[in-house]
């Protein structure tokens, strides 16, 4: 009996490492059970996390719904349509980006990109810095492609981070111009602004030359072993990297669009310049401090309150907007992804 259990454990360990589907009926049964435990478990964790957050924000939810239900029917339909459009545009652009990266390298279908992005949202919602997103994406790939897929996921995240940095620099320039000239002086502010722009230019140059990473690995005898996994990066053209960056910029604009939409709902006379600048800084800082061991929603709210508070905004309204953006941008896609995740074949032939 002990020997049989040991064999089953060994077979399962080999399956997890290789991702291969065994021909042995018992092992296939084990894989089937483990697969469904993982899929139901991850989906359950995501749903539980969202439910917990909704329970903790009942006051904000009630105040937001009161404002929403006070609108006319035409206004309700308009806001609902725009919210749905921004959600679709946001995640649709992310699917386009991911497909641009994996299709040429893995000869994958569009459905692979769609499933990977949506299930990634489910994995990411309850993990620090939403690092679990890449797990959902690579599970949609063939086992042999998963290591290279992880590298491409890093490239995809880098393009979005650079887009966030771009808007963050714009937000910093706005903040310095609005609040720092009198306290620091005009010359100091200009030097800081030039330094920020120079840093952004340097990051852009490094990003558009990512293909040289593979070349460096090939030239190093100690790193040559990993060259085959970096082959997709080495083949990335500057044109493709530029396209990913532009799509990331547009995607970031959908984030801002969500802030504008919700502030227009909550405020009678919004100051769009201040809202735009503070929103850019909030989104940028949320990315910079995302490694801090604090739940994502709490971090987003604390950062947004600190920036909007500088301009004497109603902090209750700011909290409502941040929470609503989280629901639109994170919670709803994660709910859809939890359903998509159930269609996965985690263990399958290579």
Tell me the average pLDDT across 333-343.
Answer: 85
Judged on CB neighbours under 10 Å (0-12, 13-18, 19+), 280 is buried
pLDDT at residue 18 in the model = 47
Containing 51, the helix (H) or strand (E) segment is: helix 25-56
233-253 pLDDT, tens digit per residue, is: 777 888 899 999 999 999 999
Q: How many CB atoms lie within 10 A of CB 154?
A: 12
79-105 pLDDT, tens digit per residue, is: 999 999 999 999 999 999 999 998 887
| Residues in contact with 267: Cβ distance below 8 Å, sequence separation at least 6, in sequence order | 317
pTM over 0.75: yes
What SS3 class is residue 70? coil
What SS3 class is residue 164? helix
Mean pLDDT of the chain: 82
Please give the backbone phi and psi of residue 291, each rounded to the nearest 5 degrees, phi first: -80, -10
Q: What is the largest CA-CA distance in the chain?
A: 80
pLDDT at residue 257 in the model = 94
The structure tokens 């006319």 sit at 72
Domain boundary assignment for the chain = 29-341
- C-alpha dihedral (212, 283, 77, 89), degrees to nearest 10: 0
Q: How confident is the model at residue 216 (pLDDT cuts 50, 70, 90)?
A: low
Q: What is the CA radius of gyration of the chain?
A: 23
Higher pLDDT, 350 or 74: 74
Structure tokens, 269: 């006379």
Tell me the average pLDDT across 157-163.
Answer: 92
What SS3 class is residue 209? coil
- C-alpha dihedral (159, 305, 71, 336), degrees to nearest 10: 40
Structure tokens, 29: 């049964």
pLDDT at residue 52 in the model = 87
């Amino acid at each position: 009996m002990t020997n049989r259990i040991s064999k089953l454990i060994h077979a399962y360990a080999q399956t997890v490492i290789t991702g291969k589907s065994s021909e042995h009926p018992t092992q296939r049964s084990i894989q089937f059970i483990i697969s469904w435990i993982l899929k139901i478990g991850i989906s359950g964790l995501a749903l539980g996390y969202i439910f917990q957050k909704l329970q903790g924000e009942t006051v904000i939810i009630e105040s937001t719904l009161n404002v929403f239900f006070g609108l006319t029917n035409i206004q309700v339909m308009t806001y609902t349509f725009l919210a749905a459009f921004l959600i679709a545009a946001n995640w649709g652009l992310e699917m386009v980006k991911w497909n641009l990266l994996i299709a040429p390298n893995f000869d994958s279908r569009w459905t692979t990109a769609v499933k990977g992005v949506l299930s990634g949202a489910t994995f990411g919602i309850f993990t620090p810095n939403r690092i679990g997103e890449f797990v959902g994406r690579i599970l949609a790939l063939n086992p042999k492609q998963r290591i290279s897929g992880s590298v491409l996921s890093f490239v995809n995240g880098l393009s979005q981070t650079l887009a966030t940095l771009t808007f963050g620099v714009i937000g910093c320039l706005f903040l310095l111009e609005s609040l720092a000239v009198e306290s620091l002086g005009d010359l100091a502010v200009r030097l800081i602004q030039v330094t920020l722009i120079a840093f952004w230019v340097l990051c852009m140059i490094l990003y558009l030359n990512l293909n040289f990473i593979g070349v460096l690995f090939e030239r190093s005898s100690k790193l040559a072993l990993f060259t085959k996994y970096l082959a997709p990066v080495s083949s990335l053209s500057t044109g493709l990297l530029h396209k990913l960056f532009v799509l990331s910029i547009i995607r970031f604009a959908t984030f801002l669009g969500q802030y504008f939409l919700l502030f227009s709902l909550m405020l009678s006379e919004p100051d769009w310049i201040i809202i735009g600048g503070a929103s850019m800084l909030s989104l940028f800082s949320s990315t910079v401090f995302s490694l801090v061991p604090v739940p994502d929603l709490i971090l987003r709210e604390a950062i947004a309150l600190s920036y909007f508070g500088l301009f004497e905004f109603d902090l209750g309204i700011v909290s409502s907007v941040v929470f609503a953006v989280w629901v639109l941008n994170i919670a709803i896609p994660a709910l859809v992804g939890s359903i998509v995740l159930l269609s996965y074949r985690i263990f399958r032939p290579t």
